[in-house]
Amino acid sequence: MLVLVIMISWIGSILEIRSMERNSDIILQSVLSEQGIRWFIRNAAACFSTAPAGEALMILMAMGIGQGSGYFRALRRMRLLSPKERVSLIISMVVLLLYILFIVMDFLFGSYSLLGVSGTLKGSPMAEGAVFLCMLAIALPATVYGISVGSIRSADDCVAAFSGMIGPAASFLITMLVASQLIQVILYTNFDVMLGIGPRLMRLISFLLYWTPLPLIICSNQKRDKEV
């Protein structure tokens, strides 16, 4: 898709395709022009900073600790747990309940530590840090379960569990890097304007480009592990 957008913008710039947007004459720019090449090289690394790489790492870390500690496995087979595993799961559920209770109490008593200054979700820490809060909802009980059941015995075990999914899903971060390049090239070339793509639709397209590969890569890894 990235190569296709670059080639179409190059051909469009040769044909001098233009669009009138808000009384402005917008030209389809080419990345293969001298100016475009300078822009691409200068912003290649900066483009990746626009991708939600931090959120992706937090999701992979939560999945890693959930799997590495045995927490996800315990949730799947609750009726088949040993007494020690059952007690460990109960303790982890208490931790999760306390975490949820903290969030609920923040809303009820209006301390606004998670809400915005106006008392709403708009622009609030909870809205902007939703991925982090969700990661904690998995990481806290999973870590407690791992320590209690004995699957996590040291700091090294904890770090290894958190990073357990990063290696298998490293290709997801690579696709996210390419997706960030694609999105920025679309914006630079004015490809979005030519196709009549507004800001809201562009945000949706960006979301799909960034996150669609994740479940596909996870399913592919699981299938490969079963075959091995």
Per the listing, tokens 């020690």 go with 84
pLDDT band at 107 (very low <50, low <70, confident <90, very high): confident
Q: Is 181 exposed, middle or buried (0-12, 13-18, 19+ CB in 10 A)?
A: buried
Query: Structure pTM?
Result: 0.78
Per-residue pLDDT tens digits for 3-52: 999 998 899 888 877 765 655 667 888 899 889 999 989 888 888 888 89
The ranges assigned to domains in the chain are 2-52+169-227, 70-151
Between CA 27 and CA 191 the distance in angstroms is: 9
Count CB-CB contacts under 10 A for residue 154: 8
| DSSP type of residue 114 | S
Query: Sign of dihedral through CA atoms 222, 223, 227, 228?
Result: negative
Per-residue pLDDT tens digits for 52-106: 988 999 999 999 999 999 999 999 998 899 999 999 999 999 999 999 998 888 7
Mean pLDDT within 133-150 = 95
Q: Is 155 exposed, middle or buried (0-12, 13-18, 19+ CB in 10 A)?
A: exposed
Amino acid at 64: G
Among residues 9, 32, 28, the alpha carbon closest in space to that of 20 is found at 28
Q: Which residues lie below 8 Å from residue 2, measured CB to CB, with a gap of 6+?
A: 178, 181, 182, 185
